[in-house]
């Protein structure tokens, strides 16, 4: 990793570049909040962020501590409740969901509930919150997480948030809206998209300093490798300055990529 930035900063900036203007985005806790806030401040986007507790369209002066933090309602368009926040997604208005998780598999299924057996888990996490509803009903789901073999697994221990489940047509079979599902996965090593035919995760772009072999070695399932692979540009000085000074000045999340 370059001495000028750490892997968390790189991953955040790469993901923030893909957020489109004038979109409605459901934002999960942690890194997704970092990315969304950066996109607002660095690119002056008119996006509407929605948080599961009810904040709709806040400006977020600095990074919220959680989805229930008062910063998720600062200068918001509306302060609603969870039921209304979920209803907006169920009505088909959510362009994107931006989520993270403890595990992900080749079809983009996310686990943020348990490691091991559900009834006798090795580790129990906070769980779904709004992640299941957002991944179920948003038109596109963007995912961001550290790239480690223990996280990118052949089969998640528990499906908290549905990806393409077990392959083509699976979402439709269980009643989820057609043409919804995972769109991109941003990691500390690369960016993935999904093959339209197989619905499997596919290498889309490499981060600076990463190689195809590096991605394969740190992924717990067979990676689909296309003939042409893009390269993500490194962070600019402007992007780093805004991220460090305006978005996360106390390094609540950025500090995870240090050392």
> What is the set of active-site residues?
52
| Six token digits for residue 109 | 């299924």
User: What CA–CA distance (Å, rounded) separates 37 from 76?
Assistant: 14
| Helices 31-43 + 7-16 axis angle, to 10 | 60
Do residues 37 and 12 make contact, with C-beta atoms less than 8 angstroms apart? no
Ordered alpha helix ranges (H), the chain: 7-16, 31-43, 82-90, 131-137, 170-173, 212-217, 237-242
DSSP class per residue in 14-81: HHHTTPPTT-EEEE-SSHHHHHHHHHHHHH----EEE-TTSEES---SS--SSTTSGGGGTT-SEE--
User: What CA–CA distance (Å, rounded) separates 132 from 122?
Assistant: 22
Which residues are CB-neighbours of 123 under 8 A, at least 6 positions away? 102, 114, 115, 116
CA angle 85, 90, 91 (to 5 degrees): 100
């Amino acid at each position: 990793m370059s001495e000028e930035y750490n892997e968390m900063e790189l991953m955040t900036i790469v993901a923030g570049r893909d957020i489109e203007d004038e979109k409605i985005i459901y934002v999960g806790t942690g890194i997704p909040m970092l990315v969304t806030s950066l996109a607002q401040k660095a690119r002056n986007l008119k996006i509407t962020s929605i948080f599961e507790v009810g904040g709709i369209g806040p400006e977020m002066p600095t990074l919220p501590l959680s989805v229930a933090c008062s910063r998720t309602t600062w200068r918001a368009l509306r302060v609603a409740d969870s039921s209304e926040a979920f209803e907006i997604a169920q009505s088909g208005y959510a362009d994107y969901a931006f989520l993270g998780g403890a595990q992900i598999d080749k079809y983009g299924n996310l686990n943020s509930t348990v490691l091991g057996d559900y009834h006798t888990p090795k580790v129990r996490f906070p769980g779904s919150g709004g992640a299941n509803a957002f991944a179920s009903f948003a038109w596109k789901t963007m995912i961001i997480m550290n790239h480690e073999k223990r996280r990118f697994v052949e089969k998640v221990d528990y499906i908290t948030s549905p990806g393409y489940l077990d392959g083509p047509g699976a979402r439709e079979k269980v009643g989820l809206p057609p043409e919804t599902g995972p769109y991109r996965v941003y990691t500390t090593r690369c960016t993935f998209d999904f093959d339209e035919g197989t619905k499997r995760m596919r290498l889309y772009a490499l981060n600076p300093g990463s190689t195809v072999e590096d991605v394969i070695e740190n992924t717990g399932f067979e990676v689909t490798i296309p003939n042409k692979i893009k390269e993500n540009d490194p962070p600019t000085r402007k992007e780093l300055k805004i991220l460090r000074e305006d978005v996360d000045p106390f390094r609540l999340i950025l500090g995870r990529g240090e050392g």
